[in-house]
Chains A and B, each alone.
Chain A
Amino acid sequence: MTVDAANISLTDYPIQRSGVIAQHVLDEMVLYDSEKEEGYSLNQSARSIWDLCDGQRTISDICSALAAPLSLDPGLLQDDVLITIQQLAAMNLVTLNEPTASA
C-alpha cells in the first residue's frame, strides 16, 4: 500500500518494499520496480539510506546509524534523510512497517 509520503515522520519505520529489485553498482544502486516496470538510480548517499530501511529502525535511528561513523550530530542529517525517505515512499519503493514489540 502506498504511504502518504508527506506525513512520514522521524518516528516511522521505513522498509524496502518487496517486489523492488535492488542491485548495488559499485557505491551506487539501481532499483527496478518489476510491477511498474520502472527503474531508479540512487547515489551513494541515497543508497546508504536505502540499505538501512529494514523496518526495524526509525528514521531517527537511521540518522544515528549514518552519523556515528562520521562523528556527526544525527540532527544534522535529519532533514536530508527524511526528504530522501519521503521521496522513496512517494515512488512506492519503501513503505512503513508496524513496529514490533521488540523494536
Chain B
Amino acid sequence: MSLQLQPNTSLVLTQEVAYISYAGHHLAITFETPDLMEDVHRIFGKLLTTNPPSVFHTLNIRKIDSGYAIDGVSEMESKLDSQRSTLQHLKFEVIHQFIKLTPNHLWLHAAGASLEEKGILLSGAWGKGKSTIVSELCERGALYLSDDIVPIDMTSGSLMPFHLTPMRREYEDAHASLSPVEVSNLSKRIIDLSADSYARSGVQLAAIILPEYTPEATTALVPHSPALTTMTLLENCLNLKTKKEQAVRFLGSLVECVPVYRLPYNDGAAGAALIMDLITE
C-alpha cells in the first residue's frame, strides 16, 4: 500500500496531538516534530476527533538523525527513514491498535460502500482498482464506508464504516499496462465527498466484488468461485493470524450468503454502473 500525498495548503494545524476514533475507542498520536502532522490529518480524515474523554493508547512520532521513529508500537521502537514509510507504518500501527480492541471484528484490506442500506464489499490486493470503483459508486449516490480498510462485525455481520480519507490513483495513460511497482508509485488524488456521503453506521453485506483493473479488459461482472472468493478475503484479512478458524468459518459462511463477482474493467464508471444495477435490481 503506498501513499503519495498532494499538498493541501488550506489545512491549518495548531495541535501537536491528533486523536483517531473508532467504535468508541480513541487513540492519540503525538508529534515531537510537526513534519508529518498535516499528512496524518489528511490520511485519517473523518476518523479524527477532538477532545476525547480518554485515550487507550498513544503513538509518538519524533525525528531522529536517520529519519523518524514511532514510539508505542506493538513490538519494538520503530525507526523509519522516510516520511512515506513512516506514514505507511503509522497507518498500519493505528489499525493494529484498533484490531486489538475489537475482538469481534475481522479487519479486511478492502473497500466498501453502502447503497440503499445494502453493503458492497470490494476486495483484492492493492492496485486492483478498489478505490476507483468505490469513488465512482459514491459519485452515483452510494455512501462511503472505506477505500482501504473495512472492519466486519462478526456478531452482526455488518460492514463497518472506517473513514480513511478516500483517494484514488491518477493514471496518466489509462490504457498503459503498469507493473505493480509502477502502480505503487502513481500519485493519489483525494476524493472530495460531501458530508452526507459518509455512511454513519454498519450495513449488511449484499454483494462481494473483486475488481481487476486491466487496460485491455472488457468491463463486466463475472460470477466467481465462492471458494476462491473466500481465499481472497482470507488473503486480505489483517487479523487472520489471530482469528484463524473463526475467520475461515465466518468468511466462508459470509460468501455463501451473497452473490460474488469478479469485475474486470477498464472503465471505472462503467464498472460502478454495473454494480449499481446489480444492487438495485
Contacts and interface: CB of A to CB of B under 8 A. Distances in A.
Interface string A28-52: 1110101001011111000000000
Interface string B209-251: 0000000000000000111111100110000110011001100
B252 A25 contact: yes
B241 A37 contact: yes
A76 interface: no
Nearest to A22: B248
B16 interface: no
B255 interface: yes
A40 to B, nearest CB: 8
B245 A41 contact: no
Nearest to B247: A32
A26 interface: yes
B256 interface: yes
Contacts of A29: 227
A98 B74 CA distance: 46
Contacts of B234: 30, 32, 39
In this complex, the member of B229, B240, B248, B249 whose beta carbon has the largest number of chain A beta carbons within 10 angstroms is: B248
A21 interface: yes
Contact of A30 (B240, B241, B244, B248): B248
Contacts, number: 51
Given A21-B248, A25-B252, A32-B248, A41 B241 contact: no
A41 B228 contact: yes
Given A30-B234, A32-B234, A21 B245 contact: yes
Interface string A42-78: 1100000000000000000000000000000000000
B245 A30 contact: no
Given A23-B248, A41-B225, A30 B256 contact: no
A40 B227 CA distance: 9
A40 B231 CA distance: 7
A21 B240 CA distance: 13
Contacts of A42: 227
B227 A28 contact: yes
B252 A23 contact: yes
B249 A23 contact: yes
Contacts of A32: 234, 244-245, 248
Given A30-B234, A39-B234, A25 B244 contact: no
Contacts of A40: 231
A45 B193 CA distance: 47
Contact of B244 (A26, A28, A34, A41): A34
B227 A41 contact: yes
Interface of A: 21, 23-26, 28-30, 32, 34, 37, 39-43
10 contacts: A21-B245, A23-B248, A23-B253, A28-B225, A28-B227, A29-B227, A34-B245, A41-B230, A41-B231, A43-B227
